[in-house]
Amino acid sequence: MPPRVRRTRRPERSAVNGARALFEAHDLVFQEVDQANDFGKDAYVDLTLDGTVSGYVVALQIKGGRKYIRSKGCAIPCDGDHSEYWFTSSIPVIGIIQKPRDGQLYWQNLTRYLRDVDPSPTSIPVPSTQSLTDDSLRAFIDEMIRYLRSYSGSRWLDLASSDPNRQAGAAFDCFAIGRFDSRGLLLLRALLTRLSGQGFEVGAHLLAHVTLHPDIFWHSDNWVSESVKREVRQVLVWQPWELRVLLGKLAEFAELGVETWGRGTLGQSLYHLFIEDECIDGKLERALRDAVVNCEDEVAIQLLCLAVYREQQDPRGYFSQLTSRFPGLMRDIRVQEMKAALEEFGWIDIF
C-alpha cells in the first residue's frame, strides 16, 4: 500500500505558511527549521523595525487544527521534554496557533509562561486576546524586544551536553543568533570537536555557512551577514589534533553506512571549514603522521586522500612520497584503489 499523507499535515502547513506570510509581509526574516531537525521549534524570526534588522531573534512553535481550540481561546500541549526545551531555550520560544475556521493567528510566550507561571503544565493556554495581525504585529515586536533585553537563556550550554539531540538544538540556536551576533557561531566553532552524533553533523553543516561552500543555496532563511562571516573565518584555524578528531567523528558516520564524501555531504562541509586555514596543507600532513603513529587507520586514510586531493602540482608523486613514509597505508584496498586512479588519471576527486 502506498504511503498516505498525514491528516494533520494540511492544517500544520497552513499554520506555518500563514505565520510566514504575515512576518514576511512586514519584512521580518522567517527561517523555517527542517522537520528532520525539529527540536520543539518550527522556525526562527529575525525581528525588524521599519525594515531594519534589530539583531533580536525569537523561536516559534507553530500549530494548526481543531485539536488546539478550547472553549476559551486555544492551548498548546506540553510534555516534559518540550517543557524543558522551551524553559531552557537560549532564546524565547513563542507558540503560535492558527484557527482553522478563519485562519487567524494567536500567540503565547511559552518560555515566559513556563518560567513565570507553571514550569510543568500539560498544556499552555494561548489567549484569544493575543492575536497576530497586520495591525497588532508592531506591538508584538515591541513586546518581544522588551522581553529579550531582560532575557537570559541557558540553552547554549547544551553544546556541552552529552546528549547529541540537545547539542543539535543548541547549534541551531547558535546559528539563528550568530547570523547577526558572531558570538553564537564563534561558540559553535570553539566547541565543534566536543560535539557528537547529530550535534556534530548539524554544527558542522551550520558553521560551513560562513565559508565559500558551493552547494549551499543562499536565501533569506540562511544568509549570514558579511561582517559575521569575516570574523568567524578568522578563527577557522586548525590544529592537527583537531583535524584528526573531526575526521574521526566523520568516520563514525561512515561506519553507520552514511555517505560521508561527495556533494552535499558532511565531509564537504568539513572540507570547506578546513581550507579556510591558509596553512591547512602542512597541517594535513602532520595530522596524517600523528594518525599513523596512533594507529588511527580510518582517519589516516581520509587525511591521505585529502592531502593528495589538495596537491595541485604532482598528486601522483606526492602520493608516492607519503606512502613511502607510511608504507602500512598500502595494505588498505582503498589506498590501492587510490594509487590505481592516480596512475590512470593523474589525480583523484572526492566530490
CA distance linking residue 201 with residue 197, whole number of Å: 6
Question: Among the residues of 193-350, which ranges form H helices?
Answer: 197-207, 226-233, 240-255, 266-274, 280-293, 297-310, 315-325, 333-345
Kindly state whether residues 141 and 217 are assigned to the same domain: no
Provide the grid cell at 263.
556533494
Confidence category of residue 154, pLDDT binned at 50, 70, 90: low
Who has greater pLDDT, 73 or 66?
A: 66
pLDDT at residue 79, rounded to an integer: 87
User: Which DSSP string do the residues of 107-171 spell out, in sequence order?
Assistant: EEEHHHHHHHT-SS-SEEEE-TT-EE-TTTHHHHHHHHHHHHHT----GGGGGG-S-HHHHHHHH
Kindly state whether residues 128 and 270 are assigned to the same domain: no
Q: Is residue 222 situated within a structural domain? A: yes
Q: Is residue 171 situated within a structural domain? A: yes
Domain limit, last residue, from 149, 171, 203: 149
Domain limit, last residue, from 149, 179, 203: 149
Question: Which of 272, 194, 181 minimizes the C-alpha distance to 233?
Answer: 272
CA distance linking residue 170 with residue 187, whole number of Å: 11
Q: Is residue 156 situated within a structural domain? A: no
Report how many domains make up the chain.
Answer: 2
- The CATH number for 85's domain is 3.40.1350.10
Who has greater pLDDT, 71 or 60?
A: 60
User: Which of the residue ranges 60-64, 80-84, 243-247 has the most confident prediction, judged by mean pLDDT?
Assistant: 243-247
Provide the grid cell at 72.
476559551
Kindly state whether residues 212 and 137 are assigned to the same domain: no
Kindly state whether residues 175 and 301 are assigned to the same domain: yes
Q: Report residue 84: phi and psi, to 5°.
A: -65, -45
Q: Give the residue carrying C-alpha cell 591558509.
A: 278
Q: Is residue 4 situated within a structural domain? A: no
Question: Which of 137, 132, 125, 95 minimizes the C-alpha distance to 18?
Answer: 132
pLDDT at residue 3, rounded to an integer: 44
Is the Cα dihedral 283, 285, 288, 290 positive or negative?
negative
pLDDT at residue 220, rounded to an integer: 67
Longest dimension (CA), the chain: 77
Mean pLDDT of 145-151: 81
Kindly state whether residues 276 and 340 are assigned to the same domain: yes
Provide the grid cell at 339.
594509487
Q: Report residue 61: phi and psi, to 5°.
A: -115, 115
Q: Is residue 155 situated within a structural domain? A: no
Residue 4 has pLDDT above 60, yes or no: no
Q: Is residue 2 situated within a structural domain? A: no
- pLDDT, tens digit, 9 for 90 and up, residues 233-258: 999 999 999 999 999 999 999 999 99
CA distance linking residue 213 with residue 268, whole number of Å: 8
Confidence category of residue 221, pLDDT binned at 50, 70, 90: low
Kindly state whether residues 194 and 127 are assigned to the same domain: no
CA distance linking residue 39 with residue 94, whole number of Å: 14
Q: How far apart are the first and last CA of the chain?
A: 37
Kindly state whether residues 210 and 288 are assigned to the same domain: yes
Kindly state whether residues 144 and 213 are assigned to the same domain: no
CA distance linking residue 81 with residue 4, whole number of Å: 28
Confidence category of residue 48, pLDDT binned at 50, 70, 90: confident
Domain that holds residue 16: 9-149
Kindly state whether residues 167 and 112 are assigned to the same domain: no
Kindly state whether residues 200 and 283 are assigned to the same domain: yes
CA distance linking residue 329 with residue 335, whole number of Å: 7
Q: Report residue 98: phi and psi, to 5°.
A: -110, 125
Domain limit, last residue, from 149, 177, 193: 149
Q: Is residue 194 situated within a structural domain? A: yes
CA distance linking residue 93 with residue 103, whole number of Å: 21
Q: Is residue 154 situated within a structural domain? A: no
Kindly state whether residues 113 and 21 are assigned to the same domain: yes
Kindly state whether residues 120 and 197 are assigned to the same domain: no
- pLDDT, tens digit, 9 for 90 and up, residues 95-128: 999 998 889 999 999 999 999 899 889 999 999 9
